[in-house]
A and B are shown apart, each in its own frame.
Chain A
Amino acid sequence: MGKISNQHIIDQLTAQFDGQFTAPTEPFGLLTLETSTGTINSLLTYLKNDKELSFNYLTDITAVHYPELEKALCVVYHLHSLTNNVRIRIKVFMPVSNPTIPTATTLWEGANWMERETFDFFGIQFTGHPDLRRILNVDDMTVFPMRREYALEDPNRVDKKDFFFGR
């Protein structure tokens, strides 16, 4: 569908960032790369500013928590090259003890709220973000609720017990 193939993107990135990203996979044709917190900023800058690739549209930033992994938190970027009509997904894994990653707000203003949301739910610290506050949850919340250790409801609540339906 796109004007440039995924292999072409991989070749171009390998020339520029050899060894700094790993495991290109293509689930449902969407090129997925993994990189490190040190490389992500230069990789995003390159993808955005390269004349041919021009991944100029930031579709989404979100995160995933894999508690069983050593680097348990994963920030996922979805970029879209509107001129080539190609998408790319970039993942960055990081440990829960030090969840810091450079901000993408220097490249896209739109990253501002996406990163705030990711911080709000996963506690990812985006260094250099101009206004890293909670956005959807209340300001005095102390936990990061989308992490897997937090159950959906407080199991100790008694006011919502419904014994007839075995909750």
Chain B
Amino acid sequence: MSNFITEITPNRPVYTDNDPQGDFSTLNLGPTHPATHGVFQNVLQMDGERIVSGVSTIGYIHRAFEKIAEHRPFYQITTLTDRMNYCSSPINNMGWHMTVEKLLGIEMPKRVDYLRVIVMELSRITDHLICNGILGVDTGAFSGFLYLMEEREHIYEIFEEICGARLTTNIGRIGGFERDFNDIAFAKIEKFLVKFPPILKEFEQLFNRNRIFIERTSGVGAVDPETALNYSWSGPILRATGVDYDVRVNEPYSSYQDFDFEIPVGTKGDVYDRFILRNEEMWQSLRIIEQAMEKIKKEPKGIFHANVPEFYLPPKEQVYNNMEALIYHFKIVMGEVDTPKTEVYHAVEGGNGELGFYLINDGGRTPYRLHFRRPSFINYQMYAPMSRGMLLSDAIINMSSLNVIAGELDA
């Protein structure tokens, strides 16, 4: 990595850890520093404005989700996944549902797949919006952030129309959605597809060729693909280094293979590349949503869940009036449905990278073991090593562009 960085940023000094003169100072960046956007602590050794070395301390909001998940039935784990990457919680929800569906061998109707794709791509846009907006704020450009927040609000209104919640959505169920999208939801998505592109265009015009922004971000935090792969990076920051790994293409889930979209890749893997790449991914997400809206029109109306009465809770009116529905309701809630005793790994492309669910099932009511492969946790471990030799202000924007979400980091 060091050769690559000195090529890109030639003036960067090389530090070793020892401090012979004793003139380095210690700086606590975090855990509640406003510029870190979350609870991250880094104890930095500073030589003036330059970082000599750093130690990351994490775990401030660790909530033992993996332990809690061992005590909860499958359908109650959705709310835990919400609270990992809370900037794009629907992707986490859907990822969990699809993991369980893979375990149970449920075949999903195409319309449900497309509805899911719409929700997941919308939440990818919210995730990238907040990351790029905050990156602008950290470089000193506040207005772009404000333009984008309005659009994020519109996406949250769509989520509200679909599931009633905004941030921690708990959207969907195992086997589909809890209810069909109503006409207002579709109308809001249509309106968003019309109103959002000009605003994203304006945002790009503010930043992409802005000389101050380019000088501030170009070459900062550059990573070569070998190092990125060696550190198991995934998601936009890996693609910014030039590796075209995207779970949506490598292992298509939820019928992503039906869509025509491109995976943008960068060349230098620096902050500027990540910024441009996230913008480009938003355009691609819009393309996917547009295609999904078209495809849904060709599918039979009113299908919003798979026909799996053993796993999908029946509507309440039927539970009260219909014996079979009552039995299924009881069996689902009490966990008396037989599930295969096996293990499954399912990955989705989250906002920050490969979000994996490793589920070991012993046929009981709760998972025997559930492990989340959290992209933020794995991406963040390079932060301290890569900050070495950086200016403090560069390290701040580097952290913003990694888009590390504290909830996902600590789980």
Contact = CB atoms under 8 A, between A and B. Distances in A.
Verify that A and B bind, or say they do not. Answer: yes
Interface of A: 1, 27-28, 30, 32, 56-60, 62, 64-65, 76, 78, 82, 85, 87, 89, 108-114, 117, 121, 135-138, 145-146, 152
Contacts of A58: 232
B72 to A, nearest CB: 10
Given A28-B345, A152-B68, 9 more contacts: A57-B229, A59-B373, A60-B371, A78-B345, A111-B232, A117-B377, A136-B62, A152-B67, A152-B71
Interface stretch (B187-195, B207-215, B243-251): B243-251
A117 B58 CA distance: 11
A76 B66 CA distance: 15
B182 interface: no
B360 interface: yes
Interface string B226-245: 01011111000000000101
B344 A110 contact: no
A80 to B, nearest CB: 9
Secondary structure at the B interface, as helix, strand, loop or mixed, is mixed
A-B pairs with lowest CB-CB distance, top 8: A110-B232, A136-B59, A113-B381, A136-B62, A110-B231, A62-B371, A60-B373, A27-B342
Contacts, number: 86
A65 B62 CA distance: 21
B343 interface: yes
B66 A146 contact: yes
A59 B356 CA distance: 9
Contacts of A112: 381
15 contacts: A1-B251, A27-B342, A27-B343, A28-B344, A57-B245, A59-B232, A60-B356, A60-B373, A76-B358, A87-B345, A89-B345, A110-B381, A113-B377, A136-B62, A138-B59
Contacts of A60: 356, 358, 371, 373
B410 interface: yes
Contacts of A32: 343
Contact of A78 (B70, B342, B358): B358
**A78, A113, A138, A152 interface centre (most CB from chain B within 10 Å):** A113
B108 to A, nearest CB: 16
Tier of interface size on chain B: 35 or more
B64 interface: yes
Contacts of A109: 227, 230-231, 381-382, 385
B410 A136 contact: yes
Interface in B318-363: 342-345, 347, 354, 356, 358, 360
Contacts of A137: 59, 62
A89 B342 CA distance: 14
Given A59-B356, A62-B371, A109-B230, A30 B345 contact: yes
Interface string B148-170: 00000000000000000000000
B369 interface: yes
A105 B377 CA distance: 16
Contact of B354 (A56, A59, A121, A146): A59
